[in-house]
Structure 1
């Protein structure tokens, strides 16, 4: 594994309580229409998650991802980063890229929305379906 490891949503929350920083790598559309994690109740050193798209609109890779991460995480060197996407796939790639850039990085299994049920609805698991704090759309 080329990053620090995978965490369940509950384990990710515990990391945030210990001072890790959440990085949501979904798209602006996902943040706006589906909602975002609310990390303030975790009470870590940094209450607000970072929002950095792994892919831009249309699925185009964000070539500025690492540069944007370094900019937004400035002053947080030494903190662990916890990466979150919709289902836990893009966040793996982001965790790998961040690890290569020198960060200790984790992936959140199940993502924000989790796996689809047999009807295609994302109600099975994931950050929001496990009852972790969320807020309505950002941006």
Structure 2
């Protein structure tokens, strides 16, 4: 009888967890949502990092060219999810092959329990990265939902929020300890 009651309670708890996880935060655009459901703005990410820089890590998953030529957070480790190749696809999009070593490179740099704040340009690629890392066992990763450049304004320019627009420190200077090296 006790075993059956325990089994019923476990099934009910699992069903409850599943139902709760299916209610995604509707204020976060779908492409920026993650399996872990942890989100932070660039402004808040920098404020939190400033309080405990030894326990929070900032990771930038944009291409090495974006990291170098658009700028990056001064403390951000660059581990790209994709690389950019010359040319365009038939849909006029950049050719972006996946970094096959992405998870392995992150595992080599960080512990699965480390607190990571992950950014890309505007929050979509970082969500994809977090989902890959969650499958690999990482548990404490936040998506910087407005990314490095931020969201677009009504004229299509990336001037709304984002690391670069928030007053957080950024640079073009490359630190060999932070730059991705194949």
TM above 0.5, one fold?
Answer: yes
Matched, 1:54 2:81: yes
Aligned counterpart, 1:133? 169
Gaps (5+ residues) in structure 2? Answer: 1-33, 85-94
1:37-76, aligned counterparts within 5 Å?
A: 37-39=73-75, 49-57=76-84, 58-73=95-110, 76=111
1:88: Cα distance to partner? 0.3
Gaps (5+ residues) in structure 1? Answer: 40-48
Aligned length: 128
Please give the alpha-carbon distance, in whole angstroms, between the structure 1 residues aligned to 2:82 and 2:70.
Answer: 16
Which of 14, 17, 21 is matched with 2:47 structurally?
A: 14
TM-score when scaled to structure 1? 0.82
- Write out per-residue CA displacement over residues 47-85 of structure 1, whole angstroms, 9 at most, x where no aligned residue: xx3210011112111121101111122xx4532111100
Q: Flag the structure with more relative contact order, 1 or 2, with Cα contacts below 8 A and sequence separation at least 6.
A: 1
Aligned counterpart, 1:91? 126
Superposition RMSD on alpha carbons, in Å?
1.7
1:31 touches 1:137 (CA, 8 Å); kept in 2?
A: no
Distance 1:78 1:12, change over 3 A: same
Runs of 4+ deviating beyond 3 Å: none
TM-score when scaled to structure 2? 0.64
Please give the alpha-carbon distance, in whole angstroms, between the structure 2 residues aligned to 1:15 and 1:78.
Answer: 17
Please give the alpha-carbon distance, in whole angstroms, between the structure 2 residues aligned to 1:14 and 1:4.
Answer: 20
Please give the alpha-carbon distance, in whole angstroms, between the structure 1 residues aligned to 2:129 and 2:97.
Answer: 14
